[in-house]
């Protein structure tokens, strides 16, 4: 029997995000977010749907907390919607917004579930996009003000905070590729947004500490190993560049190493928006790094013609999720090990890991999801191996507690431990949730 007992005190949880589950997009004083604006534009979302209602968590949160308790979650990672708190992006506080999150935090604590809050999971107040959004330094400063308001309100009860979720996705998909809100297609805006997001993070850390004594403060990055398709120099160079774009552009400044020179040269951007002291602000020490891991990337050179490159040695396996992402638990082990040996972060949480599969209701009462269970089991085992190798992994949040709005994919992808029948908003625990309950109880990977 493989020992898969996790350390005492290891935290097992699940994660969501405000725009993806809350709904109530225009209720109780909340203003429009860039995702409200984006999803209301025709042709942006695969199924043409929006997060206007989503999982209606805003009204159903008490039942959802009861469901979290039934699964046995020890912690719950969720995000606060900035437009509920400061509808103008700054200034006037919307008390009903504060009250919603305060009630949710009290409900979680009463259920014995530790709240982990993400301050920004992509739903920027639209009014701030009007002044340039993350391409503007003024929004970094507004984020510090928003952080002050919400941490003053909740900082007595919430002791685990993440400033941002996946700044890479916000900046690259939102401002250069255009697949995410605000749907811009500018390399210059992407690079500026990546900097202003990191600056916002650095400005927010001391604010959190002053309003939430003894809090653990971190940031959640999407990280994935970039594996060369062959041992050719071209593929190894391509993989290193992809690692710089995806991983080092964020990891290095947070670790106090500044932006990676190879990527600055690739961008050809003199980064003139950086002011004296900004990089030190970004490198403000944090207590943990959150890792959102889903799969690895196999990188093939696009410069050397295929016929002139070495034969491929690394292939994507055929075990794909509904997102067409390769199931690769080894990739989780590798990224955690790389962080342990290459970076100074003293604590790591897996703040997202999970899989989408086309779940079906059986006899209207049950959902068997053996593929998701197998995915999670293999990744829990990889995490256990990483801990055994010395990685300071402190907890694991499954993405996601609920099926929810999967951004540009709308509701076509189901990541939840809990099935949501959207027309009725009925929640049904999947078999993976029942298995997860037993994993948590045992604090070990079980069959
Ligand atoms: C992300 C986001 C989540 C996604 C999840 C599945 O990592 O993209 O944090 O909101 O829904 O990762 O794609």
- Tell me: the pLDDT tens digits for 50-88? 999 999 999 999 999 999 999 999 999 999 999 999 999
CA pair distance 388, 185, nearest whole angstrom = 44
Among positive and negative, which fits the CA dihedral 163, 169, 172, 177?
negative
Query: With a threshold of 0.95, does the pTM exceed it?
Result: yes
- Tell me: the pLDDT tens digits for 336-393? 999 999 999 999 999 999 999 999 887 767 789 999 999 999 999 999 999 999 999 9
Reported residue count of the chain is 447
- Residue 165, ligand 1, Cβ within 6 A: yes
Q: Which of 22, 166, 189, 406 is catalytic?
A: 166
- Tell me: the pLDDT tens digits for 150-205? 999 999 999 999 999 999 999 999 999 999 999 999 999 999 999 999 999 999 99
Q: Is residue 328 predicted with pLDDT exceeding 60?
A: yes
In 3D space, the residue among 343, 423, 396, 370 whose CA is nearest the CA of residue 10 turns out to be 396
**Per-residue confidence band for 447, with pLDDT thresholds at 50, 70 and 90:** confident
In 3D space, the residue among 287, 395, 289, 398 whose CA is nearest the CA of residue 338 turns out to be 289
Domain edges within the chain: 2-446
Q: How far is the CA of 423 from the centre of ligand 1 (A)?
A: 23
Pocket test for ligand 1, best of 20, 220, 292, 409 (most atoms within 8 A of CB): 292
pLDDT at position 410: 97
Is the separation of the CB atoms in 60 and 404 below 8 Å?
no
Torsion angle defined by CA atoms of residues 175, 176, 179 and 181, in that order, rounded to the nearest 10 degrees: 0
- Told to judge if 352 belongs to the known catalytic residues of this protein, a careful annotator would answer yes
Structure tokens belonging to residue 425: 């908003």
- Residue 16, ligand 1, Cβ within 6 A: no
pLDDT at position 361: 81
Classify 396 as helix, strand or coil: strand
- Residue 166, ligand 1, Cβ within 6 A: yes
Nearest protein Cα to ligand 1, atom 13: 406
pLDDT at position 356: 98
How many C-beta neighbours within 10 Å does residue 96 have? 12
- Give me the DSSP letters along 237-267: HHHHHHHIIIIIHHHHHHTTS-S-HHHHHHH
At a CB cut-off of 8 Å and minimum separation 6, what does 90 contact? 142, 145, 146
Percentage of residues in the chain with pLDDT exceeding 90?
A: 97
- Residue 224, ligand 1, Cβ within 6 A: no
- Tell me: the pLDDT tens digits for 1-41? 557 999 999 999 999 999 999 999 999 999 999 999 999 99
Q: Is residue 438 predicted with pLDDT exceeding 80?
A: yes
pLDDT at position 362: 74
CATH of 2-446 among 2.130.10.10, 3.40.630.20, 3.90.1010.10, 3.20.20.80: 3.20.20.80
Mean pLDDT calculated for residue range 263-291: 97
The secondary structure of residue 124, as a DSSP letter, is: -
- Tell me: the pLDDT tens digits for 100-157? 999 999 999 999 999 999 999 999 999 999 999 999 999 999 999 999 999 999 999 9
Structure tokens belonging to residue 88: 């103008």
At a CB cut-off of 8 Å and minimum separation 6, what does 290 contact? 162, 218, 219, 220, 221, 348, 349, 350, 351, 352
- Give me the DSSP letters along 5-56: BPPTT-EEEEE--HHHH---TT-TTPPPBHHHHHHTSTTSSTTS--TTTTT-
- Residue 348, ligand 1, Cβ within 6 A: no
Is the separation of the CB atoms in 120 and 133 below 8 Å?
no
Mean pLDDT calculated for residue range 401-426: 97
Nearest protein Cα to ligand 1, atom 6: 406
């Amino acid at each position: 029997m493989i020992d898969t007992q996790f350390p005492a005190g290891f935290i097992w949880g699940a994660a969501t995000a405000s725009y993806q589950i809350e709904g109530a997009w225009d209720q109780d004083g909340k203003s429009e977010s860039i995702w409200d604006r984006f999803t209301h534009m025709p042709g942006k979302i695969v199924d043409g749907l929006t997060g206007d209602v989503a999982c209606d968590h805003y009204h159903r949160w008490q039942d959802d907390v009861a469901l979290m308790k039934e699964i046995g979650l020890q912690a719950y990672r969720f995000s606060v919607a900035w437009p509920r708190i400061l509808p103008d992006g700054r200034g006037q506080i919307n008390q009903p917004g504060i009250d919603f999150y305060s009630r949710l935090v009290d409900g979680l604590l009463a259920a014995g579930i530790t709240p982990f809050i993400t301050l920004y999971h992509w739903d920027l107040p639209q009014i701030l996009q009007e002044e340039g959004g993350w391409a503007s330094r003024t929004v970094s400063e507004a984020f510090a003000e928003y952080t002050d308001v919400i941490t003053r309100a909740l900082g007595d009860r919430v002791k685990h905070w993440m400033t941002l979720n996946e700044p890479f996705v916000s900046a690259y998909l939102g401002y250069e590729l255009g697949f995410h809100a605000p749907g811009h297609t500018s390399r210059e805006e992407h690079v500026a947004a990546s900097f202003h997001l990191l600056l916002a993070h650095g400005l927010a850390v001391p604010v959190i500490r002053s309003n939430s004594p003894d809090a653990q403060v971190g940031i959640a990055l999407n990280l994935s190993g970039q594996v060369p398709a062959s041992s050719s120099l071209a593929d190894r160079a391509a993989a290193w560049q992809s690692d710089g774009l995806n991983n080092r552009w964020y990891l290095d400044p947070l670790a106090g190493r500044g932006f990676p020179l190879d990527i600055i040269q690739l961008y050809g951007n003199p980064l003139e928006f950086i002011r004296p002291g900004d990089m030190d602000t970004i490198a403000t020490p944090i207590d943990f790094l959150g890792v959102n891991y889903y799969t690895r990337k196999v990188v093939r050179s696009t410069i050397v013609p295929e016929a002139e490159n070495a034969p491929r040695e690394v292939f994507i396996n055929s075990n794909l999720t509904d997102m067409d992402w390769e199931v690769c638990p080894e990739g989780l082990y590798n990224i955690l090990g790389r962080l342990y040996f290459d970076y100074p972060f003293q604590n790591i949480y897996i703040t997202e890991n999970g899989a989408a599969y086309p779940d079906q209701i059986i006899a209207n009462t049950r959902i068997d999801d053996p593929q998701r269970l197998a995915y999670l089991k293999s990744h829990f085992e990889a995490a256990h191996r990483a801990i055994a190798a010395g990685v300071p992994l402190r907890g694991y949040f499954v993405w996601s507690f609920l099926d929810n709005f999967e951004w540009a994919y709308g509701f076509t992808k189901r990541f939840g431990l809990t099935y949501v029948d959207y027309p009725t908003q009925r929640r049904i625990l999947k078999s993976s949730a029942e298995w997860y309950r037993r994993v948590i109880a045992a604090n070990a990977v079980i069959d």
